[in-house]
Structure formats: structure tokens, C-alpha cells
């Protein structure tokens, strides 16, 4: 029998199938890790790094990482917090964003957590939910369910629920409204607290650096434009990040081409101002990756 030997490849836990799976695999591929077809196996070898993925249920990930069966894990912050796992959170990742909220049937005249005193709350997150009500000194009965929490009020199993909300579609479809938020969540990259070899530690550093570069790239755009030479000082003012833009003379008299990188969030404002300053042919391109 082949045992799971954690002294060899850096083993990363990823949700087997769910809302984080594709985004996590896209991220790993986006930072240059190549994998065989991961749909077919639970243990997937990385083709170009000493890394392997273990595809498991998201709820199991914190424990696998805590025990050192996996060295790293990509998992929702809600799951890490609920599990109270002894792991290190390396960084948050801005996908899988959701919140754990309290919701009640519409028209029940329950508007705040205090209105739930003595009532039953169905949830798959008993730890976080209990902590929330305890911190407010409200006594409630927690009913732990492993799934389909949103139908508990209709089945009269509970008066309210505490469940994850992302788009809000599930609540709406079940005639429920949010009355308070317990926990904000996004995907987290977690690391085991068990000692790791120097090689693994270095690989983790590299992965973190690449994730940072990937994030910067996703949040930036490469822009190119043409402008009259005399507009360059004005254009530099519009793009404060532009310390040393690439400015190239064009064949046209007195015209230059300017290339630079800007934060995506400023793109529309910047573009409108550039146009006013005399820039023409403004083109924006996505960036694949950036070393920062």
C-alpha cells in the first residue's frame, strides 16, 4: 500500500469540488504550476515543481493541514475559523468571498439577533454561531445540520439560520432575509505548523511571491497611447505612478508613444483625463504576470 509520505513533495490541499476548486486551480496554473488532468485523481502530481495536490472535502482541509498530512491548503476562512485549527494563515486571497449571516423568514418580525433569544438557529457553523450569540449574551439553541440549512425554517426545525451568503440567491429563493452578519470570509492560504524541510519552506516562499505578482498583475493594466511631446509633463501628472514612463518618438512630427502600467481601479478616470490632455489611441492590455 502506498502511504502518504509528507517528507517528499510539497503537498497542497484543495477543495475537491465546489466553488473554490476551479479558482484555486486557475490560480496555481496562473503562477506557473502545471498539472495532469486533475479531474480524474485525488492526488495530482505537479509536472514542473515538487508539488502535489490532494483534492479533498473543504471541511477536511484545516485538519489535514494541522496534522501535517498536507503542508499547505487553500480553503475558505469560514472553514478555518469554524475548525479552530492550529495552522498559520499565510494570506487571504480575494476569491470565494462570502459571509456567514443570520437569516430569518420574511414577515416574522425578527429584526435583530436579540429577537432570537430562546429560539432555535440551524447552521453548519455551530462554533462561529455560538461564539457570536455568546458575545452578545443572547441565549439560543443551536441546531447543527450538515447541509440544506436554508430549508430548516420551513420544516419548522428552526426559527432562523446562520449560513453562508454569497450572491444572496439561496436566501431569496427560500424566502429568508439577512438580519446580521457573523463573519466575513474569503479564501485563505494556510500552512501547517509542523516543521518543514528547508526545501519546502523555500518553495512556499516562491509560491507566495508568485501569488503576489499574479495579484498585482490582475489589478493592473498596461496602457499605451500616442500624445504630442508637449503633453508629456501633463500626462505624467495624470498618472502619478508613472515615474519613468517609456516615451518613444513617433515618425509623426512632435508625437510620442507612451507606455506604462496603471492600477485597474483608476483606469477610467485616468483614460478620460489623458484624452483631455491630448492623448489619442489609448489602448489597455491585461498583464499576465508581474515581478514586484
Q: Which residues bind ligand PRP (CB under 6 A)?
A: 18-19, 58, 147, 150, 163-170
- Return the number of other C-beta atoms located less than 10 Å from residue 189's C-beta: 21
Question: Closest by alpha carbon to 172, among 121, 101, 123?
Answer: 101
Please state, in angstroms and rounded to a whole number, the distance separating the CA atoms of residues 284 and 268: 11
Q: What's the gap between Cα 165 and its chain centre?
A: 15
Instruction: Give 72's Cβ-side CA count (13 Å radius).
Output: 22
Of 47-66, which residues contact Zn ion (CB under 5 A)? 58-59
Closer of 152 and 239 to Zn ion (Cβ):
152
Nearer to ligand PRP, 42 or 47 (CB): 42
CB of 66 to ligand PRP, least distance (A): 19
Q: Which three cell numbers, joined as nine digits, stand for 59?
A: 471541511
> In this chain, which residue has its C-beta nearest to Zn ion?
58
Q: Which residues pair with 57 in a beta bridge?
A: none
Residue 19 near which of ligand PRP, Zn ion, none (CB within 5-8 Å, type-dependent): ligand PRP
- Taking the complex as a whole, how short is the minimal distance between the CB of residue 19 and Zn ion, in angstroms? 9
**Cell for 281?**
489611441
How many chain residues are in contact with Zn ion, going by CB under 5 A? 2
Nearer to Zn ion among residue 137 and residue 147 (C-beta): 147
- 126 versus 168: smaller Cβ distance to ligand PRP: 168
Residue 115 site contact among ligand PRP, Zn ion, none (CB < 5 to 8 Å, cut-off depends on kind) = none
68 interface partner picked from ligand PRP, Zn ion, none, CB below 5 to 8 A per type: none
Q: How far is the CB of 146 from ligand PRP (least distance, A)?
A: 8
Shortest Cβ 154–ligand PRP spacing (Å): 14
Give the Å distances, CA to CA, from 191 to 33, 120, 165, 277.
18, 36, 26, 49
Residue 195 binds which entry of ligand PRP, Zn ion, none, with Cβ cut-offs from 5 to 8 Å by kind? none
- Considering beta carbons, is residue 6 or 21 the nearer one to ligand PRP? 21
Q: How far is the CB of 64 from ligand PRP (least distance, A)?
A: 16
Conformation bin of residue 91: beta by default, left when phi > 0, alpha when psi is -120 to 50: beta
Please identify, using beta-carbon distances, which residue of 78 and 220 lies nearer to Zn ion: 78
The Cα 135–Cα 119 span in angstroms is 17
**How do strand 120-123 and strand 160-165 relate by DSSP bridges?**
parallel
Q: Using alpha carbons, list the distances in angstroms from residue 255 to 221, 227, 230, 274, 280.
A: 23, 6, 9, 15, 10
We find the least distance from the C-beta atom of residue 176 to ligand PRP, in angstroms, to be: 10
Contact positions vs Zn ion (CB under 5 A)? 58-59
Amino acid at each position: 500500500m502506498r502511504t502518504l509520505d509528507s517528507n517528499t513533495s510539497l503537498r497542497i490541499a484543495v477543495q475537491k469540488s465546489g466553488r473554490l476548486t476551479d479558482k484555486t486551480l486557475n490560480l496555481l496554473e496562473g503562477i506557473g504550476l502545471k498539472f495532469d488532468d486533475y479531474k480524474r485523481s485525488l492526488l495530482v502530481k505537479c509536472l514542473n515543481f515538487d508539488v502535489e495536490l490532494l483534492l479533498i472535502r473543504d471541511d477536511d482541509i484545516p485538519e489535514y493541514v494541522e496534522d501535517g498530512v498536507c503542508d499547505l491548503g487553500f480553503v475558505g476562512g469560514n472553514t478555518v475559523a469554524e475548525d479552530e485549527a492550529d495552522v498559520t494563515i499565510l494570506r487571504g486571497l480575494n476569491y470565494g468571498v462570502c459571509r456567514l449571516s443570520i437569516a430569518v423568514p420574511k414577515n416574522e418580525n425578527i429584526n435583530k439577533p436579540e429577537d432570537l433569544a430562546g429560539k432555535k438557529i440551524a447552521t453548519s457553523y455551530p462554533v462561529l454561531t455560538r461564539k457570536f450569540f455568546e458575545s452578545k449574551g443572547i441565549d439560543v439553541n443551536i441546531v447543527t445540520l450538515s447541509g440544506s440549512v436554508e430549508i430548516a425554517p420551513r420544516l419548522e426545525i428552526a426559527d432562523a439560520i446562520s449560513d453562508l451568503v454569497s450572491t444572496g440567491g439561496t436566501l431569496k429563493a427560500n424566502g429568508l432575509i439577512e438580519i446580521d452578519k457573523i463573519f466575513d470570509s474569503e479564501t485563505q492560504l494556510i500552512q501547517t505548523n509542523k516543521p518543514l524541510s528547508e526545501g519546502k519552506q523555500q518553495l512556499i516562499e516562491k509560491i507566495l511571491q508568485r501569488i503576489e505578482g499574479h495579484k498585482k498583475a490582475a489589478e493592473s493594466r498596461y496602457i499605451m497611447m500616442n500624445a504630442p511631446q508637449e503633453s508629456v509633463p501633463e500626462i505624467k501628472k495624470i498618472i502619478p505612478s508613472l515615474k519613468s514612463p517609456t516615451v518613444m518618438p513617433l515618425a509623426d512630427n512632435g508625437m510620442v508613444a507612451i507606455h506604462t502600467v496603471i492600477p485597474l481601479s483608476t483606469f477610467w478616470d485616468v483614460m478620460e483625463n489623458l484624452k483631455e490632455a491630448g492623448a489619442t489611441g489609448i489602448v489597455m492590455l491585461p498583464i499576465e504576470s508581474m515581478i514586484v
